[in-house]
Amino acid sequence: MSSLAFAAEAVTGIPHLAAAVPGADNPHADFSDTPWWLSLVKALLVFVFLLVNTLVVIWFERRVIGRMQQRPGPNRTGPFGLLQTLADGIKLALKEDLTPKNADKVVFALAPMIAGAMAFVSFAIIPMGPMVSMFGHRTPLQLTDTPVAVLLVLAVAGVGVYGIVLAGWSSGSTYPLLGGLRSTAQVISYEIAMGLALVAIFLYSGSMSTSQIVYSQRDLWYILPAFFSFLVYVVTMVGETNRLPFDLAEGEGELTGGFHTEYSSLKFAMFFLGEYVNMFTVSALATTMFLGGWQAPPGIAAINDGMFNHGWWGLLWFVIKLWLFMFFFVWLRGSLPRVRYDQFMRFGWKFLIPVTLAWVVAVAFIRGAQLGYFGNSSVGLAGREFPVATLIIVGLIAALALAVTWVWEGKQAEKQAAAEAQLPEEIDPFAGGYPVPPLPGQRLREPSLAIEKESNRA
């Protein structure tokens, strides 16, 4: 299929999605041949997978950032420095475990437990591969799946916030309190936009079960029909995990360390571990929602009657896609400075939320047209059949989006013109009582005149 026809199909109608199948919102993965002990083994494997990946990604991050900053990064402990994270962990375990005298002792110990434990739970519903044979049973490479699996991820993320806010509050110290509050406000603000971005996926897949969502992407990954959702999700996932450029909770310059300032030893390590496991969870969810989960990339999937979409191959594609997102996280950290807190909150509340809501309405209309809610007539064009209602709706949405950007551009230009017009030609360097540098195109007023003015006022 040529890329043009592929894109046209993405917008104008996806054959297999159009059929309404009753009960299609139930999980697609079949867990009937999975005894309880096998679930326990799989849970242990997921835990080990996350722990090992965290160890590797911390090393990977430091090496890649090192390269980006023209230095080698850690390279002494083990081959290529691979054991660096393990050494850091052992070092942390042998450090003194402090509890400040103002702290609420019980909550202070409880907070890192919540942060560490909740981080692992969401990964249970991530499909990491198709059916495989394990100890003589046919079982999917997924711990569990429910009809509301994605909602479960959002709920667990909500509980994970308790770890942060309780850590900040129980430390009995100013910086952690501020850091904890900031972090909480940040995570919950961006969770709204994240939740709204996912609605478009549910509209296309007709299910909240992750295995069903992966299954319904077998012909077309949702990154194409829901591209805007993907953009919003990528921004919000960085905001959710408190990573640069959105790591305002621990802005070293202003809050020393944020909510974990007072934590030391393995309690601190729990927060650190939780942050990295959360990065894996949001990346895995992005893979599942937008990049077809464990399915092979389009070209490879066609080889040899889909042999690369069976058995353990799925795990390979899943891990590759997961690590693409991890590299993206590291790349962001290597290239972007931290944003200011008010800019961050303004972007979330005043841009992401309304725009994502409008996008959800647009997708609902496109889906309605595809399902034939506005009539079923179609028009032949260049040998292909295009449904009329879908074309009209897509055209209307594009026109509306263009109109909005045009109005917005005009307003921005107006604002800029106003700002430039207001710039006075010469400024008083001591106007506010402290020295102010001149902006480009401004002259300094003669200081002696300013002093004279001051003395006259006195």
Contacts of residue 439, Cβ cutoff 8 Å, sequence gap at least 6: 423, 427
- How far does the chain reach from its first CA to its final CA, in angstroms? 82
Using CB under 8 A as the binding rule, the residues of this chain from 238 to 257 that contact another protein are: 256
Which residues from 290-349 bind another protein, rule CB under 8 A? 341-342, 345-346, 349
Site string for another protein, 255-284 (x = CB under 8 A): -x----xx--xxx-xx--------------
CB of 356 to another protein, least distance (A): 9
Choice from 8, 11, 83, 357 touching another protein (CB under 8 A): 357
Least separation in angstroms between residue 24's CB and another protein is 8
Compare residues 60 and 365 and give the one whose CB is closer to another protein: 365
- The residue count for binding another protein (CB under 8 A) is 96
- State which of residues 55, 58, 64, 124 lies at the interface with another protein (CB under 8 A): 124
Closer residue to another protein (CB): 190 or 308: 190
Q: State the minimum distance, in angstroms, from the CB of residue 108 to another protein.
A: 10
Determine which residue in the list 20, 418, 419, 439 makes contact with another protein, applying CB under 8 A.
20
417 forms part of the interface with another protein (CB under 8 A): no
Q: Which of 2, 3, 36, 457 binds another protein (CB under 8 A)?
A: 36
Q: Which is nearer to another protein, 122 or 309 (CB)?
A: 122
Range 39-98, binding another protein (CB under 8 A):
39-40, 42-44, 46-47, 93-98
- Binders of another protein among residues 128 to 157 (CB under 8 A) are 143-146, 151-152
Q: Which residue stretch of 164-172, 232-240, 428-436, 450-458 sits at the interface with another protein (rule: CB under 8 A)? A: 164-172
Distance separating alpha carbons of residues 300 and 104, to the nearest angstrom: 56
Q: Which of residues 224 and 371 has its CB atom nearest to another protein in the complex?
A: 371
Shortest distance (Å) from residue 236 CB to another protein: 12
Q: Shortest approach of another protein to residue 450 CB, angstroms?
A: 29
Site for another protein in 180-219 (CB under 8 A): 181, 184-185, 188-189, 191-192, 195-196, 199-200, 202-203, 206-208
- Of 107-115, 238-246, 310-318, 377-385, the window that binds another protein (rule: CB under 8 A) is 107-115
Stretch that binds another protein, among 238-246, 309-317, 365-373, 434-442 (CB under 8 A): 365-373
Of 308 and 318, which CB lies nearer to another protein in the complex structure?
A: 318
